[in-house]
Amino acid sequence: MNIAICDDEKIFIERINDGITGYFRKNDMDYTVTSFTSGQDFIALGENVLEFNLVFLDICMENSNGLEVAKFIRQQSKDILIVFVSAFIDYSVQGYHFDALRYILKDAMLGRAIEESLDVALSRIEHKNIYIEEEFNEGKRKFALCNLYYIECIKHWLYFHIYDGNAMKVYKTYKTMKSIEEKYFSHNFLEVRKGVLVNPEKVKNVLRYEMKLDNDDIIVIPKEKYMMVKNSIMSYREDM
């Protein structure tokens, strides 16, 4: 795993680096760590940021805003994992707008929080390596599970909304939802309403009986399922 630390306080760069080093040595795994003392230095990498799997990012830096750095990261890739690090909890809501993996505090529990963040990061990366094969009207397709946004059933047809690396595409197959739901439930897909299964990894937010996905598609949530769906998404983010 290739990891970046972006923080203008050298003492916290050292603490985060120590936590990362201890974790990977304990687990006998390969890793690299590159440190940046300003957001400008990190942004100056341009497309080279794609070399990193994970970034520990300070939100409040003296000469740059960590949220601006996060925006830059998301412009380059949706796959780079971000862990926000801050002395304040005030920015936690803004942080999750950038699909942050974790928001951790610079306190006595920092070491433990780093370990938990690395556990979740490795689990997320492993999840991205899961592939599914389905027979569609358009032919047999093998796709990364992380690129499947949602499945909807319309008049006995299943429509799979999949990102193919360049654009969203919809593939259809004549099957019942019941015939495939167990497989996708085992991968944490969530039944938002009857006939719609959603990949929780692709959920941007849940608000006012609607779920907005990363591709800006809107899924309407029935009133009676709203709290269950919202709590399930929150639980998924905590676990992952």
Mean pLDDT of the chain: 91
Stretch 102-108: mean pLDDT: 89
How many CA atoms are closer than 13 Å to the CA of 137, on its beta-carbon side?
Answer: 10
pLDDT of residue 62: 79
Q: What are the structural domains of the chain?
A: 2-128 (3.40.50.2300), 131-239 (2.40.50.1020)
Instruction: State the pTM of this model.
Output: 0.66
Which of 57-61, 77-81, 119-123, 193-197 has the highest average model confidence (pLDDT)? 193-197
pLDDT of residue 84: 94
Stretch 81-108: mean pLDDT: 81
- Helix or strand run (H / E) with residue 67: helix 66-76
pLDDT of residue 173: 97
Stretch 179-193: mean pLDDT: 94
Please report where in the chains the tokens 């358009």 appear, as a residue. 138
pLDDT of residue 137: 96
Q: Which pLDDT band, with edges at 50, 70 and 90, does 93 fall under?
A: low
End-to-end CA, the chain = 17
Q: Which pLDDT band, with edges at 50, 70 and 90, does 91 fall under?
A: low
Q: Is the pLDDT of residue 212 over 60?
A: yes
pLDDT of residue 92: 56
pLDDT of residue 6: 97
Q: What are the helix and strand counts (H, E) for the chain?
A: 7, 17
Q: Per the structure block, which two tokens stand in for 57? A: 């990012």
Stretch 45-74: mean pLDDT: 92
Render 131-163 in DSSP notation, one character per residue. Answer: EEEEEETTEEEEEEGGGEEEEEEETTEEEEEEE
Q: Is the pLDDT of residue 127 over 90?
A: no
